[in-house]
Chain A
Amino acid sequence: MIVYALRRLGAIALIMLVICAITFAIFYLLPDDPALDACGKSCTSARLADVRHAMGLDQPVLTQFLSYLSGIFAGRTLGTSGLDCAAPCFGYSWQYASPVWDLLLDRLGVSASLAAGAAVLWLVVGVLLGLMAALRKGSLLDRGIVLSALATTSAPVYLIAALLIYFVILQGELLPFPDYQPVLDNPAAWVASLILPWITLAALYAAMYIRLTRASMIETMAEPYIRTARAKGLPERTVVVKHGLRSTMTPILTIFGIDLGGLLAGAMITETMFGLPGLGKLTFDAIGKSDQPVVLGVTLLAALFITLANLVVDLLYGVIDPRVRYA
């Protein structure tokens, strides 16, 4: 299993390199010139050349790529500007006048808080409702749950967010507009600032998890080993929880890991709507301003999260399902 994990980690490193190269190439081919933004309004061509030189953009793309790579491990000085960027250096955002890594670290706390809270919420609600629907398959309750799940999935995130903001904050005045505080500084404000974003995200995912859990549970409960469990005289509760739920959770776990990995950098709309200074909002802003080092950094981070989440899920799979063993 350790060998397997190491092999997978090696593969992840390779994937990251490829993603890095591809993203880099895309930015190089884009017509946007970051130097133009950095140069400002009254930009002369002489000054533009200076800026390009200072940013290191006048060098061949391969050189730029290699110095980017080595910067991640050894740190580097950016262009000729004399700006020092310590390892791990993911480039420098001229927009924020800060190394990208610092920006990412700064925002990660917000995104992690958002993702973790929402995940707990949607997992609990999604799995519970999914189970209830599966166990009463065909009943009114089942149909109600399935229908509302369907409705929620087809509603866009911004609509849910907008409705919540309108009714809870503006009309109901039940909550102030989110003002994010780190959990350690002020737990109450942390919760207050995140509760609506949590609900927004959770609503979206819970709907999916309801359908997933329901389908998986219905399939499991039709397995012959469930009939065996009943033939043993186990109470229905034991049959469902001990024999049914464990198999049901396996496919859900897989998707959950990947969703969580993706969400860390992917809650763009939610963060933006609620003004949460997370990675998603960072990305949203960076794209708008063609802040390429930031976009590149977020892309890499997101890819890393997703691949790592995949690995963790696969390893957990081996723990849950004894038939899956890694050599």
Chain B
Amino acid sequence: MSLLSVDNLSVAFGRVRVVDGVSFSVDRGRTLGIVGESGSGKSVSTLAIMGLLRGASVTGSVTFDGEELVGAPAERLRSLRGARLSMIFQDPLSSLHPFYTVGEQIAEAYRLHKKASRKVAHERAVEMLGEVGIPAPRRRAREHPHRFSGGMRQRVMIAMALACEPDLLIADEPTTALDVTVQAQILELIQRLQSEYGLGIIMITHDLGVVARIADDVLVMYGGRAAERAASARVFDDPRHPYTQGLLASVPGLGRGTEGPGGGRLRAIPGNPPLPSAFPPGCRFHPRCSVALDICATEQPALLGTVRQVACHREGEL
């Protein structure tokens, strides 16, 4: 049984359904990469799992370690958050409270969930800071976030998320705001901690390179729906959904759709990603799809397949 399995998850704000019937699962020690353009529903889906969406109506099923989370009492979700389900975010500076020391912010969750004393929790914070590679952790634990660089702040966020040894870590674009050199450090850290703690990880990103580096499985989202879902190697080797193909062709430098180094035109997808208030009918990708059929404009393609799932009317033909 998977650590987390999400089945037919939908999220609506008022009448606007921004996530529509998404399913995926994550196992212990494995990483699921969720890719998609901004507004495709990546953050909303995972915030819904965490029970962190206020004012949204969430339907479908989220089973975490055998327990149904959709419709679970708020108090139950709260006791899981930070203890067994953790999350880190894109902008590590604004995600840390400016007025409290990083040590205090890490210790806070540990104190709460492990019923630890202030002193024990502080020791745990120092230990975690060392664990994520912050030099002189004892001294740095007493400093405030603004004294840390961007990469260090993300390390602090990771220390905070992992202090209670959770089973699942959701990382929402954790390296988007960082330099590539620092991104490499953070990804390496996440991978090391994953093998140490046996974490299941959901890595949200729009950088296909990051997915290729750390994901075992990939979910490609478009317009609030799953476009394609398969093992990472399959998706990159042989993308089946026209959107996935377009996405890969849009990334220069890897010989796919470009003449590699040496330039030429990129095979860009025309048009813009749709807004949830104006999702097109049928296949939401059809206005931008170069191989669309008439049926695509009217009928929603189902996500079909076993080892690989693709939501496209032309799956199998192309």
Contact = CB atoms under 8 A, between A and B. Distances in A.
Interface of A: 223-225, 227-235, 243, 246-247, 320-323
B81 A232 contact: yes
A219 B80 CA distance: 27
A234 B95 contact: no
A227 B87 CA distance: 10
Contacts of A223: 94
Given A227-B52, A234-B82, A247-B98, 17 more contacts: A224-B89, A225-B95, A227-B95, A228-B95, A228-B96, A228-B97, A228-B160, A230-B81, A231-B86, A232-B112, A233-B83, A234-B112, A247-B97, A247-B99, A322-B144, A322-B146, A323-B146
A210 to B, nearest CB: 23
A243 B78 CA distance: 16
Nearest to B81: A233
B91 interface: yes
Nearest to A322: B144
B109 interface: yes
Contacts of B112: 232-234
Given A231-B50, A233-B80, A322 B95 contact: no
Q: Pick the 5 closest A-B CB pairs, nearest first.
A: A233-B82, A233-B81, A232-B82, A232-B109, A322-B144
A247 B97 CA distance: 9
A231 B50 CA distance: 7
Contacts of B96: 225, 228
A322 B52 contact: no
A180 B97 CA distance: 47
B158 to A, nearest CB: 12
B98 A321 contact: yes
B113 interface: yes
Interface of B: 50, 52, 78-83, 86-87, 89, 91, 94-99, 108-109, 112-113, 144, 146, 157, 160-161
B188 to A, nearest CB: 23
21 contacts: A223-B94, A224-B95, A225-B96, A225-B98, A227-B89, A227-B95, A229-B97, A230-B52, A230-B81, A231-B86, A231-B161, A232-B109, A233-B79, A233-B80, A233-B112, A234-B109, A247-B99, A321-B99, A322-B98, A323-B98, A323-B144
Contact of A231 (B87, B91, B94, B144): B87
Contact of A243 (B79, B81, B97): B97
A232 B94 contact: no
Given A225-B94, A322-B98, A234 B108 contact: yes
Nearest to B78: A233
Nearest to B101: A322
Nearest to A229: B97
A320 B99 contact: yes
B73 to A, nearest CB: 13
A223 B78 CA distance: 19
A235 B109 CA distance: 10
Contact of B108 (A232, A320, A322, A323): A232
Nearest to A230: B52
A225 B97 CA distance: 5
Contact of B113 (A233, A246, A321, A323): A233
Contact of B99 (A228, A232, A235, A322): A322
A323 B80 CA distance: 32
B173 to A, nearest CB: 12
B47 to A, nearest CB: 8
Q: Taking each of A225, A234, A321, which has the highest tally of chain B beta carbons within 10 Å of its own beta carbon? A: A225
A257 to B, nearest CB: 19
A325 to B, nearest CB: 10
B78 A235 contact: yes
Contacts of A247: 97-99
Nearest to A250: B99
B183 to A, nearest CB: 19
A213 B91 CA distance: 26
B50 to A, nearest CB: 6
A231 B99 contact: no
B272 to A, nearest CB: 26
Contacts of B108: 232, 234
B90 to A, nearest CB: 9
A321 B98 CA distance: 7
A229 B87 CA distance: 11
A233 B81 CA distance: 5
Contact of A233 (B89, B91, B109): B109
Contacts of A229: 97
Nearest to B144: A322
Given A224-B95, A225-B94, A320-B99, A231 B78 contact: no
A219 to B, nearest CB: 12
Contacts of A243: 97
Contacts of B98: 225, 247, 321-323
Contacts of A227: 52, 89, 95
B150 to A, nearest CB: 14
Nearest to B80: A233
A247 to B, nearest CB: 7
Contacts of B83: 233
Contacts of A320: 99
Contacts of B87: 231
B160 A246 contact: no
A274 B159 CA distance: 60
A229 B78 CA distance: 11
